[in-house]
Every structure is written in structure tokens, then in C-alpha cells.
Amino acid sequence: ISSRNAIPSIYWEVAQPGQATPQPAFYSAGSEARLENTSSEHAHFIFFELLGMPKYTEEQVQKLLDAAVWPTEVGSALLLENHLCRLWDFRSSLGMHREDIHQHCLDNAFVVLGPSRLNLYSVDASGKPIFERQVELHDRQVVWTEIKNGGFSEDGQTLLSPQCLHSVDNAADSEFREFLIELK
């Protein structure tokens, strides 16, 4: 399959459970994407179109990340980063524990790959996780989160929890998987 991209786009193949996550492919506006199924299985792709210009410059993104109080690794593995976005693979088999508190500094969306259940934790004043709720997620569900002020309240110092500061762990018997995109 070939496609000409009018706007910057990302094609990300969804591997079968238990297989390594394929590298996402970024295509600039005006470029041509060629998708090919190289396996004997039916191929599935997640397709992101980046509809606007970046909200932040590279320097502003770095300032937001540097100002973070907690780790900003919002997934298991950062697979692609450029001037528009950061793409993360997030799966329970690569580690997902309630003690793995992370801070979101950028607007983001994630696509769930398979039915899932997660426990969501906020963080108390001493830095310990506090159970908030269990979240039921559906295959191919998309969740969008706007992160204002780099994850801080208007005072620029108080972290917004659990929206921007939280941890999760897997509450299901099957592996949790998602593709997460942070927009710069």
C-alpha cells in the first residue's frame, strides 16, 4: 500500500502480543509512505496525523522536561523523537509498577492495544503512590490528555496529580500494551 502524506504522519505497526514492538515510521508532509506486510499474519497499523505546528520550540520542551520533579519517561521505551513529537511503547512486560511514578509535561494521546484494566495511582506529599481507581480500557481506545503549564498549576510549582503525575500497574491477567504520542 502506498500513500502520499499531505501532513506529517506516523505509521506504527502493531505486533502480535509477545513480539517486540516495531519501530514507528515518520513521514514528512509531501512524502510517500509505503506499507508492506512482511508476516503471514494480518497486519495492523496505528496511524497518527500531526495536524498542527508544535506548541513548543525544542528549547521550551527541554525547559519543561528539566523543570519536572519526577521522571518524564512516560512509557517503557522511547522509540522515536523529532521536532514534532515523542513516541513511546508502553507495555507491562517491560515493567509497570505503582512505584514507577512519572510526570507528563506534554499534551499526549495513547492507543490501547487489546482489552485492559489498569490501577491508577496519584502521589501523596511524601512521594508514595495512593490508589485512585481502576480503569477499564478497550482495544483501540484512544485517550487524549491536554497538559497545561507543563503539568503544573497556575503557580508554576504545584504538580497536577493524577492527571500529570501518577503511576499505573496492570490489573488484568493479560499484558497491557499501548502506543503513546507526546506532542511538542
pLDDT (tens digit, 9 = 90+) per residue, 110-132?
Answer: 999 999 999 999 999 899 999 99
Per-residue CA distances from 85 to 5, 108, 109, 181 (Å): 17, 9, 11, 7
For residues 154-164, average pLDDT = 82
pLDDT at residue number 75: 94
Could you read off the pLDDT of 5-41 as tens digits, one per residue?
999 999 999 988 888 999 999 999 999 988 877 667 7
| Sheet with 129-137, edge to edge strand ranges | 102-103, 165-170, 116-123, 129-137
Nearest CA-CA partner of 93 in 16, 11, 181 = 16
| Prior bond of 162 cis (ω within 30°) | yes
Question: Cell 508502553 maps to which residue?
Answer: 90
pLDDT at residue number 19: 87
Which three cell numbers mark 114?
A: 487489546
Q: Beta partners for 117?
A: 136
How many residues are listed for the chain in this entry?
184
**Amino acid sitting at position 174:** S
pTM of the model: 0.91
For residues 161-177, average pLDDT = 91
Whether 71 shows a pLDDT value over 90: the answer reads yes
CA 110/CA 175 separation, integer angstroms: 16
pLDDT at residue number 115: 95
pLDDT band (50, 70, 90) for residue 137: very high
Mean of all residue pLDDT scores within the chain = 92
Say if CB 144 and CB 66 are below 8 A apart: no
Number of H helices and E strands in the chain, helices first, is 1, 14
71-85, 152-166, 169-183: lowest mean pLDDT where? 152-166
